Structure 1
Amino acid sequence: MENNIKQEIENTLEVLKKGGIILYPTDTVWGIGCDATNPQAVERIYKLKKRADSKAMICLVNSVKMLEQFVDKVPDPAYDVIDHSNKPTTIIYDNPIRVANNLVAEDETLAIRVVKEKFCEQLIYKLRKPLVSTSANISGEPTPKSFAQIAPEILKGVDYIVNLYHSKISDKPSSIIKIGNDRTVKVIRK
C-alpha cells in the first residue's frame, strides 16, 4: 500500500477510535463518516447535516464476512447482487445488529454497502467495524461532485479531513436495492 494511503488510514483511525467524525473519499462520492457502532458520533453527523435522525444513513463494510456480523440474516439474493454488481451497490437489510440504534431506520432496516475501493476497504478492515457513509452536504443541498464543492460548514464541522483524492470527480451515489428477509427485491435508486 502506498505510504500516503497508509499514513492517512492511521490518522483517520485515531480520530474514529476517539469517537470523531471524518470527511473522506468513498467508492462513490465524498462522505461524512464515523464508527457505525458509536451513537454519539452518529448523532454528531445528523446535527452537522441538519438532518432528521429518522432519515437513515448508509454503512460501509469491507467484506461479506463483516456484513454477516452486522445483519441478523443476509438474504440469499443479496450475495448474488454483491458478487455480480459492476458498480457500487448499497443493499437495505432487515434487522441490523450491533450498530448504533440511531442508525437503524424506523422499519428496523439499514443500508449497507460492501466496498471494493482500496482506502475505504483498508480503513474499515483496521477499524474492524462498519463505517457510516453519508454524502458530504447539508440535508436538502446537492451532493458535491468533488472536494472543491464541499460547503465550508461541512469542512469545519468534521474532526478530520482525509488528505487523499482531493482532485477526484465523483460520478454519482451508489445504486440502492432493498432485499427483504422474505426475498423480495425492490430498486430504490438506480
Structure 2
Amino acid sequence: MAELIKIYEENPNAKDIAKVVSVLKKGGLIIYPTDTVYGLGCDITNNSALEKIAKIKGVKLDKANFSFICEDLSNLSEYAKQIDNSTFKILKRNLPGPYTFILPGSNNLPSVFKKKKTVGIRVPDNSICQAIVNKLGNPIVSTSIKDEDEVIEYTTDPELILEKWDKLVDLVIDGGYGDNVASTVVDLTTDTPEIIREGKGDIDL
C-alpha cells in the first residue's frame, strides 16, 4: 500500500524530501505535485522502476514519451545534444515553468532510451519537485497521471489519487490540490519552434 506524505510547497521539509528520495533510490514509484498536474515518477537511473512505469502506462519503454524532470538547465548538456543560442534563450526565458521542451537527445541518454532521437525536458516551477531532484542528484522520469473520468482529465485531489493509485505506487505526496491543465509542449528540434500541445502558461518564443 502506498504511503501518503504531506509536504508544503512554501517550505518543503528536508526530512520528508529525504524520505521521498530514499523511496526513489530503492526503485520505488512516486506521485508528486508539479506546477501543472500531478505526475508519476521514478529515478531516471533505475531501469526496473522505468519498466514499472511503462507497464502502468501500457507502453514499450524504448518508445515511451516520458519527460525528464530537472532542477534547472544544468543537466541539459547531459541529455540533449548541443543546442544553439536561440534555443537556449527560449529555455532560459520560460523555465522554470509549465512547459515541456522537446530537444534532440544526446548519446548520454540512459541505455533504455538510447533508441530515442528526442527528449522532453521539464523544469517545473514547484519547490517540492525541485527539492526532490536536487537531493536525488539526477532527474526523475515523469508522466502525467490521467483520469478515466470523461469530464475531468486529471485528478487534482491527492487523497483521491491515493485511493486510485494505492496498489501501483509506493508513495503519494500531498502538495495540495493540483492543476487540471497539463504543460504546454514545445518542439525545439527544428529551426522553427512548434507548439505540439497547448497547455498551461503563455509561452514566450
TM over 0.5: yes
Structure 2 vs 1, CA of residues 107 and 124 (structure 1 numbering), >3 Å: closer, same or farther?
Answer: closer
Identify the residue that residue 168 of structure 2 maps to in structure 1: 157
* Pair 1:10 & 2:18 matched: yes
Identify the residue that residue 35 of structure 2 maps to in structure 1: 27
Following the alignment from structure 1 to structure 2, what is the Cα–Cα distance between the partners of residues 91 and 140?
28
Shift of 1:189: 0.9
Identify the residue that residue 134 of structure 1 maps to in structure 2: 143
Identify the residue that residue 93 of structure 1 maps to in structure 2: 103
Following the alignment from structure 1 to structure 2, what is the Cα–Cα distance between the partners of residues 138 and 103?
26
CA contact (8 A) 1:22 1:33 kept: yes
Shift of 1:50: 2.5
Q: What is the TM-score when the length of structure 1 is the normalising length?
A: 0.83
CA contact (8 A) 2:69 2:140 kept: yes
CA contact (8 A) 1:91 1:176 kept: yes
Q: Name the amino acid aligned to 2:104.
A: D
Q: Secondary structure at the match of 1:73?
A: coil
Q: Secondary structure at the match of 2:121?
A: strand
Following the alignment from structure 1 to structure 2, what is the Cα–Cα distance between the partners of residues 63 and 57?
18
Identity between Structure 1 and Structure 2 (%): 28
**Ranges of 4+ aligned residues in structure 1 off by more than 4 Å:** 1-4, 138-141
Q: Secondary structure at the match of 2:143?
A: strand
Shift of 1:97: 4.2
Q: Secondary structure at the match of 1:133?
A: strand
Identify the residue that residue 64 of structure 1 maps to in structure 2: 73
Q: More deviation in 141-150 or 17-26? A: 141-150
The size of the alignment, in residue pairs, is 186
Q: Secondary structure at the match of 1:177?
A: strand
CA contact (8 A) 1:59 1:132 kept: yes
Following the alignment from structure 1 to structure 2, what is the Cα–Cα distance between the partners of residues 121 and 146?
21
Structure 2 vs 1, CA of residues 144 and 70 (structure 1 numbering), >3 Å: closer, same or farther?
Answer: same
Alignment root-mean-square deviation, CA: 2.7
Q: What is the TM-score when the length of structure 2 is the normalising length?
A: 0.77
Runs of 5+ consecutive residues of structure 2 not aligned to the other structure = 1-8, 199-205
